Structure 1
Amino acid sequence: MRALMRATVAAAVLIGAVVGGAGAAAGTPSDPPGATVTVKAEVGAHPVNGRTAEWISPDSEIMVWEYQNVVKIDAMKGLDDIRVELNGPNRARLAVGTYQDVRNQLYGPASSPGILVISRGLGCIDDYAEFTVDRIERDLSGRLVALEASFTQRCGAPDGPALNGHVHYQA
């Protein structure tokens, strides 16, 4: 009888995780599937330079995934695109929280959190940024299934023109 109860409880937990999403509070409805990426850049903010843009699925192609503890966000509509990559200090897996003193993930110190922003083939190698992860969820296999994050990136100097962005993703 105990084995049957354990199996029933395990099945209920598994079904709840798959339907409700890993990390979702019991009884909390999940967001509907979809994604939105928005950016607003001050004049001179490289690589977006004074542009405001918004990508909303399904009209825009938005892909969000995690590879080697780097969260990658690609948004594209027509000829307009942006890629944002975020990682924790020492390439640690991202968790809910605010990350400060963020530098370029390829050229900055490994001990700092990382960011990489590319738009229309242009990027910055001297990033000064911060970002906040308000929500991040992974399924039982570790695949990213939900992300709510915002970032401010400056290129070339800590007081340079700002690029502000927001990402919402629900698988």
Structure 2
Amino acid sequence: MRTSKFRVAAVLAGVVAWTSLQSYGVSGAAGPTNAEFTYVSAVGDYVGGGDTQHVTSENGDFTVRSSAGSVEVMALYQRDGQLTFVNITLAAPRGQVITTGTYEGARRAAFREGNTPGIDVVAHGRGCSDVFGKFTVRHIGYGTNGAPASFVADFEQHCESPTAPVLRGSVAVRSV
């Protein structure tokens, strides 16, 4: 069950992560020169609120944190006159390198276990306690440090139940 405490925690986590990345330069974080995300939220989807969003480097500030096993894209932008954020995390099963292909049966990225991939899309201070989804990595290019430097993926996420209304989208980082 979603509570106001969860919403406040999601907003604070996003602001803290954003501030940390922008102010202190977390290892593996970079400001891409060309990034974008799009999502289409079905009516009844909690995270997207039934809305459609498209943000690019021209109308939002992007930060990317990546490792060999995951990519996290954060966008800070204006929505309806308010500063807001979207955080998209896509991860291979623990201990594996993220590569091109489809990752079925994804669960909340931070709590994935065993051979389960991870996904977590948080938008406008709203996130899921329990996540069900999948994603397809269409392109990935690695930097000299072994972490993804360019990345294109499509995703699908359901909150709290695999039959809940869907949030579908895509994310692209073309230069980190």
- Rounded Cα–Cα distance in structure 1 between residues aligned with 2:46 and 2:70: 22
Confirm or deny: 8 A CA contact 1:100 1:113 kept in the other structure: yes
Residue correspondence of structure 1 range 89-104 to structure 2 within 5 A: 89-104=93-108
The answer to whether 1:63 aligns with 2:67 is no
Question: 1:65-92 CA distances to partner (integer Å, 9 max, x unpaired)?
Answer: 3046221011121223210111111242
What is the aligned residue count? 139
Aligned position for 2:144: 140
The answer to whether 1:84 aligns with 2:84 is no
Aligned position for 2:14: none
Structure label with greater radius of gyration: 1
Aligned position for 1:160: 164
- Rounded Cα–Cα distance in structure 1 between residues aligned with 2:135 and 2:51: 20
For 2:121, which of 117, 121, 126 is the aligned residue?
A: 117
Q: Name the CA shift for 1:163/1:149 in 2 (closer, same or farther; >3 Å).
A: same
Indicate the percent of aligned positions where both proteins have the same amino acid: 28
The answer for unaligned runs of 5 or more in structure 1 is 1-32
TM-score by length of 2: 0.73
Residue correspondence of structure 1 range 21-60 to structure 2 within 5 A: 33-60=33-60
* Range that drifts further, 40-49 or 145-154: 40-49
Confirm or deny: 8 A CA contact 1:91 1:113 kept in the other structure: no
1:112 is matched by which residue type in structure 2?
T
- Rounded Cα–Cα distance in structure 2 between residues aligned with 1:144 and 1:67: 7
TM-score by length of 1: 0.75
The answer for unaligned runs of 5 or more in structure 2 is 1-32
